[in-house]
Structure 1
């Protein structure tokens, strides 16, 4: 069974690499690798009833809003007519007629804007929230799988010929949020255009009259003239809007990349704030921030210029459309007495409504550009996730990646055969070779070598977290493993949950967790098991580096792994703390196989002077060799043996005299 990648660092996985060597054919985002696949995924998912119910309600409210637009145009014509004939002798109740028509118009505005449009906004916002939440869960599930997709997606820079996705957090949160909102708005706009053509176009045809010069069209003359004006004016300006929108799309993508890089550096800086302060590196950090912001500022400048041009274009377009194109076609029959004032105003308002609905693409082109930019970033992430589902195949595109994982009887422990590690590149020479390494059950092994020789890389390769090289790793069947790294990051959950990771806090009783904390030297925190923070600070902020590493000991004691990897896991502890760290594991994890990397040149010993470790893997000149640990005598015993031994000296002198005689 072949695989690169294994479940969870600093945790006890439920499966070994060979168990996880059966990746599923589909990921939760497999259908979202293209724009249309991303758009329809929610509507064909297990939540399809929810999606389609909300969609149909939005469609119904959109149709009613379009129909209300026709009522509004007719009511506007009635109001203008009552104003024009206010002083007409035939109008016996001019004030009453005027007020009634004005009241009807106000009621229609309330019905359309506060009723149909307002409720539609609420339902569309609900659809936005549901769709975004579903997509967020899909991408989180895809990234946080047992294949370590989140790890491979970030560290495989050129595996598929395209760079790794930058700012994954931004893509999952901001890009998905803006994309779903933009897509819903786009869909509502498209549907509004069709419903407006149906209702408004029908009303125009119904009120159409013959136009001089277009007698061959009969009574459809004025409607044809109005539709022709709309057909010429709107598409031409839409073409201009599309060109400007394409430029806005490219600038939006660039802006997101620049903002993401700056935000990422700020986040990294705040995490290493102490180190910057201790080294007085504020000047360098300030320069770096300034350099990153230059990119934001330059892109923002270009984006503002294009937005200003687009805003001016839109204002001019709206004025010409509402005041000239809408009222122009009806002038011809009005001048020739084919239409009265009421008919002219009603027809012009209908044309204005039609232009407004058809111009929706122009009004929201910046939003459409943002939608395309955001969808591009989301589909790029989906493709990156899909590409690394078979990590060795992915890494093999840029170097040799041929690791084999197998299983054997746990009695034989862990075996490494013909292992070579390299860097990216087809012709890259191996920097570390291990012909045959065997780690027996219960054996403790100390990895020794100069800094940079590949000690950590060897542990990563055993755990499936090194991409390039080849070899065979045979794990003990059914044995859980635990990888403890030097840097410990704690999630913002309760203390009990932190100790119980990767399982649930319900897997162990409070007494078991408390006992593990006590054995790890964190007994002072037993009374705070249920707390997610202390004094407003998360446990990651409360605990020191050494305490975090003791927390790892508590996890080990609680989980009882059979295979333990310590990757400089005691770096933040003092000498006594390192001894206590090892002693807790020795006392509470019988038969555990330990493979450890430490800064020390000599493996630590217990307080009584006995050795924790049984063997050493020495790495020199790129070759890893294993040999038994030569016991060294404790300092106290060496001192005693170096002192004179009077009884022994007297016996030796007596023996010599006997021989002389």
Structure 2
């Protein structure tokens, strides 16, 4: 039955005029530094996040309090040793040993109890925060919008300037998230330690203070004020120096990340083109490429090692001066003037040393947190890119026209492609155009044309996976679509998973999957449905190109799509195999609309001479035209 083209065009415009609401991605709140930092604590797992955080804060407070106990007991021990042979008030051996045992118990409680347990809670929080972020980014990348695909597209604007996708997405999700979460937790714990130490240790330092010669106006707070002043000058000055060195470390670390990612990408690419390198004996050229990639790593690593060595020396000198000079100097004059007892002097010095140690935390961990902002920036940039491609056409519009419109219509109307034009980035002239292409239910259409004419590009555009161009694509409503590509890449899952994709294995009984494999000519694999490979190799490594295409046929026979796209899906099969492939679809998917790209059109008839295809879509000189198979035969193949 023919339909009114004007009425059909109006219907298409009405359907395409309805906009699909935009849904925020799982990482939409992480496009800024503070949004990234707070997302986990505001998520559905806030109880877990805050519970671990409060436990860490409590243990940090106890550790700071234990430092006060340690300083006081250290003073008592030194004073006991000094008075051990005093003629009037000697220290007894029992009291000396008791004080020593108390000091050891406090040290064990602080280090093995509070600090070690805090480390366990902090690493647990690190692990759970990282796992949550990893899950969020994986959900965002592997959504129904095909975000992972859109992010990898690289185009150029009209001036030819490249607009690349985020580089090394794997490094951003793995190394950057791990480094950022660890650095952020360490920074937060350090700040908490400084604040709590200022409260506990500082108050005890004031309590043990005495007046200082020349600073009588400060009264009994003299030695404490001198200690605070010394710490306030010494620690910030060294922190400033550490920050400058840390900035150099950060830049070198970012450069190292880029160099490592570039080398890793080259090695991964080699694995995909290994056969071509081997058959061309291209190992020598590949060695040159690998050497050049690694040279960048080596040079950056050399600079990084130099700065790290300088930083290590600076840190050791800082620790010595802080613990042996700055900590003991403020109380020296009151002790010399006999205004402080030895016990009070040692206690005050130990308290000052504890305060210096806590306030110097930033210096000690600067190499670890030097790349915090850099890692966070790489993550927030990825989150921003993910959110951008939630509307792919707006994303692609940055590099050229992207004005495709997609809609649904009654299944009896089939698939309609109207006023389609396909373009390359930065080019205004379309390389493929068609006014109206209509594919009826059950119709088989053969797509032919020269290499590079746009056959595969047309199929990608119908699926919303072509970047630039314009036109309307209206698919049949509630009809399953399946795309079978020439180059079959199999995921590392079970054989049953591979046949059932995109469905879950629970949706299809084993006997149905086995029957599909048998019909596709892979009956010998039926006993291995639950396995994800054999002898340590995945199915992608084990199966030949022809077997992979037969596996795709098994998927078609199992899922029985109503709309099937075959993009050179039989290229690895011989003529007999192609006949069997197409016959199986004819026999078991009788109502399917099939659109097939084929370079070799000799097997388009069955062995008995019956045509598999009803029509031919020819792409010639940038124009796509569709004719009945009989009319095409009259014009010549």
Same fold by TM-score, threshold 0.5 exceeded?
Answer: yes
Structure 1 residue 91: Cα displacement: 4.4
Task: Say yes or no: does 1:165 pair with 2:163.
Answer: no
In structure 2, the partner of 1:201 is 202
Q: How many Å separate the matches in 1 of 2:565 and 2:632? A: 24
Report matched runs for 1:316-355 at 5 Å: 316-355=317-356
Tell me: CA distance 1:365–1:23, structure 2 relative to 1, closer, same or farther (3 Å): farther
Tell me: CA distance 1:31–1:615, structure 2 relative to 1, closer, same or farther (3 Å): same
Task: Say yes or no: does 1:79 pair with 2:93.
Answer: no
In structure 2, the partner of 1:311 is 312
Residue aligned with 1:26, SS: coil
Residue aligned with 1:329, SS: coil
Per the normalisation by structure 1, the TM-score is: 0.90
Q: Is the 8 A contact 1:87 1:94 kept in 2?
A: no
Structure 1 residue 535: Cα displacement: 2.3
In structure 1, the partner of 2:151 is 153
Tell me: CA distance 1:615–1:603, structure 2 relative to 1, closer, same or farther (3 Å): farther
In structure 2, the partner of 1:185 is 186
Q: Is the 8 A contact 1:388 1:394 kept in 2?
A: yes
Structure 1 residue 313: Cα displacement: 1.4
Render the CA deviation track for 1:176-226: whole Å, top value 9, x for unaligned: 112111111111111000000000000001001011111111110010000
Q: How many Å separate the matches in 2 of 1:19 and 1:382? A: 29
Q: Is the 8 A contact 1:23 1:147 kept in 2?
A: no
Structure 1 residue 500: Cα displacement: 0.9
Q: Is the 8 A contact 2:31 2:380 kept in 1?
A: yes
Structure 1 residue 156: Cα displacement: 4.1
What runs of 5+ residues in structure 1 fail to find an aligned partner?
Answer: 1-16, 634-661
Q: In terms of mean alpha carbon deviation, does 242-251 or 580-589 score higher?
A: 242-251
Q: How many Å separate the matches in 2 of 1:61 and 1:147? A: 45
In structure 1, the partner of 2:94 is 96
Q: Is the 8 A contact 1:28 1:141 kept in 2?
A: yes
Q: How many Å separate the matches in 1 of 2:476 and 2:43? A: 40
In structure 2, the partner of 1:454 is 454
Tell me: CA distance 1:23–1:169, structure 2 relative to 1, closer, same or farther (3 Å): farther
In structure 1, the partner of 2:555 is 555
In structure 2, the partner of 1:419 is 420
Q: Is the 8 A contact 1:156 1:395 kept in 2?
A: no
Q: How many Å separate the matches in 2 of 1:287 and 1:327? A: 59
Q: How many Å separate the matches in 2 of 1:79 and 1:162? A: 68
Candidates 114, 117, 126, aligned match of 1:116: 114
In structure 2, the partner of 1:238 is 239
In structure 1, the partner of 2:125 is 127
Root-mean-square deviation (CA, aligned residues, Å) is: 1.9
Q: Is the 8 A contact 1:23 1:390 kept in 2?
A: no
In structure 2, the partner of 1:480 is 480
Render the CA deviation track for 1:427-483: whole Å, top value 9, x for unaligned: 521111111111111111111111111111111111110010001112122211101
Q: How many Å separate the matches in 2 of 1:461 and 1:514? A: 34
Per the normalisation by structure 2, the TM-score is: 0.94
Structure 1 residue 499: Cα displacement: 0.9
Report matched runs for 1:503-522 at 5 Å: 503-522=503-522
In structure 1, the partner of 2:227 is 226
Q: Is the 8 A contact 1:485 1:566 kept in 2?
A: yes
Residue aligned with 1:630, SS: helix
Residue aligned with 1:418, SS: strand
Structure 1 residue 625: Cα displacement: 1.2
Residue aligned with 1:366, SS: helix
Instruction: Pick 1 or 2: higher relative contact order, CA cutoff 8 A, min separation 6.
Output: 1
Q: How many Å separate the matches in 1 of 2:262 and 2:16? A: 37
Residue aligned with 1:483, SS: strand
Tell me: CA distance 1:532–1:21, structure 2 relative to 1, closer, same or farther (3 Å): farther
Q: Is the 8 A contact 2:514 2:526 kept in 1?
A: yes
Structure 1 residue 591: Cα displacement: 1.5
Q: How many Å separate the matches in 2 of 1:461 and 1:526? A: 36
In structure 1, the partner of 2:4 is none
Q: How many Å separate the matches in 2 of 1:627 and 1:141? A: 43
Q: How many Å separate the matches in 2 of 1:19 and 1:44? A: 37
Q: How many Å separate the matches in 2 of 1:234 and 1:433? A: 70
In structure 1, the partner of 2:56 is 58
Q: Is the 8 A contact 2:80 2:91 kept in 1?
A: no
In structure 1, the partner of 2:435 is 435
In structure 2, the partner of 1:641 is none
Q: How many Å separate the matches in 2 of 1:85 and 1:157? A: 81
Structure 1 residue 523: Cα displacement: 0.8
Larger CA Rg, structure 1 vs 2: 1
Q: Is the 8 A contact 2:327 2:353 kept in 1?
A: yes
Q: How many Å separate the matches in 1 of 2:93 and 2:566? A: 91
Structure 1 residue 93: Cα displacement: 4.8
Tell me: CA distance 1:393–1:500, structure 2 relative to 1, closer, same or farther (3 Å): same
Structure 1 residue 371: Cα displacement: 1.8
In structure 2, the partner of 1:653 is none
Tell me: CA distance 1:18–1:551, structure 2 relative to 1, closer, same or farther (3 Å): farther
Task: Say yes or no: does 1:497 pair with 2:497.
Answer: yes
In structure 2, the partner of 1:570 is 570
Structure 1 residue 411: Cα displacement: 1.9
Structure 1 residue 242: Cα displacement: 1.3
Q: In terms of mean alpha carbon deviation, does 267-276 or 582-591 score higher?
A: 267-276
Render the CA deviation track for 1:114-150: whole Å, top value 9, x for unaligned: 0001111111111111111111110011011111111
Q: How many Å separate the matches in 1 of 2:29 and 2:191? A: 24
Report matched runs for 1:509-658 at 5 Å: 509-602=509-602, 604-630=604-630
Q: How many Å separate the matches in 1 of 2:449 and 2:530? A: 42
Candidates 103, 106, 109, aligned match of 1:105: 103
Q: How many Å separate the matches in 2 of 1:20 and 1:285? A: 52
Tell me: CA distance 1:158–1:343, structure 2 relative to 1, closer, same or farther (3 Å): farther
Structure 1 residue 575: Cα displacement: 2.0
Structure 1 residue 158: Cα displacement: 5.9
